[in-house]
Chain A
Amino acid sequence: GQNIDQPTEMTATEGAIVQINCTYQTSGFNGLFWYQQHAGEAPTFLSYNVLDGLEEKGRFSSFLSRSKGYSYLLLKELQMKDSASYLCAVLDSNYQLIWGAGTKLIIKP
């Protein structure tokens, strides 16, 4: 079956760096997305990786290793507004998005 694993919850301090990991086992691979979802709101797109390596976009970076079925989202210079759930999703061979359960990130002052 298809499976995406990510930690349920993480806590970090304002101004620090946090890495949210995601491992996946899917039938085929056409890219991996990271979305941010604040409580009570819809997800918003953060990043997309389809090739191995690191994609940097401001304070957020996303890494992919297809051979290991592994990705991480790196958040730098954490701000209180970064408190949210971060969803990892993989586009499988049928171009269907398989969603992880999300990682709730709590930022403390």
Chain B
Amino acid sequence: GAVVSQHPSWVICKSGTSVKIECRSLDFQATTMFWYRQFPKQSLMLMATSNEGSKATYEQGVEKDKFLINHASLTLSTLTVTSAHPEDSSFYICSARDVGAGEYNEQFFGPGTRLTVL
């Protein structure tokens, strides 16, 4: 099946710093990538949808100036959490989708990045 990688797996940073998370589709070209956030014991919350070469579409309530998304190529999307604060501590998961990458046009998920802001 299609493989999505995410880096780093976990990160601890000080309040006020910025953190960049990379999401790569390894064996397929992802025209669409998704960024999710998941708090403990809660379901996935979609933050934004990004299409290669265009601006990301953010969900209501997600600050686009705080969560910068760049989908510069068909295999790479990045999420930068700017001026991170303790309330931004969460599990961030990316997923990728492309016609033909899966039998059911399903999303393939990266392993997630656990962010802890001190």
User: Do A48 and B106 touch across chains, with their CB atoms under 8 A apart?
Assistant: yes
| Residue B74 at the chain A interface, CB threshold 8 Å | no
The answer on a CB contact under 8 Å between A41 and B111 is yes
Q: Is A60 located at the chain interface by the 8 A CB criterion?
A: no
Cβ contact within 8 Å between A97 and B112: no
Across the interface, do A43 and B109 meet the contact criterion of CB distance under 8 Å? yes
Does B117 touch A at the CB level, under 8 Å?
no
Residue of B nearest to A95 (CB): B105
Report how far A60 CA is from B62 CA in the complex, Å: 36
In the complex, how many residues of chain A place their beta carbon closer than 8 angstroms to a beta carbon of chain B?
16
Give the interface residue-count category, chain B.
20 to 34
Measured CA separation A97–B112 after assembly (Å): 18
For the complex formed, measure the closest distance between the CB of A2 and the CB atoms of chain B, giving whole angstroms: 12
Which of A31, A43, A96, A101 sits near B104, CB closer than 8 Å?
A: A31
List 22 A–B pairs whose Cβ atoms lie within 8 Å, in order of A's numbering: A33-B106, A40-B112, A41-B111, A42-B93, A42-B95, A42-B109, A42-B111, A43-B93, A43-B109, A44-B109, A45-B1, A45-B102, A45-B104, A45-B106, A45-B107, A45-B108, A48-B103, A96-B49, A97-B46, A99-B45, A99-B46, A100-B43
Which of A's residues lie within 8 Å of B, judged by CB? 31, 33, 40-45, 48, 87, 96-97, 99-102
12 additional A-B pairs beyond A45-B102, A45-B104, A102-B43, beta carbons within 8 Å, are A41-B111, A42-B95, A42-B111, A42-B112, A44-B109, A45-B108, A87-B43, A96-B46, A97-B107, A100-B43, A101-B42, A101-B43
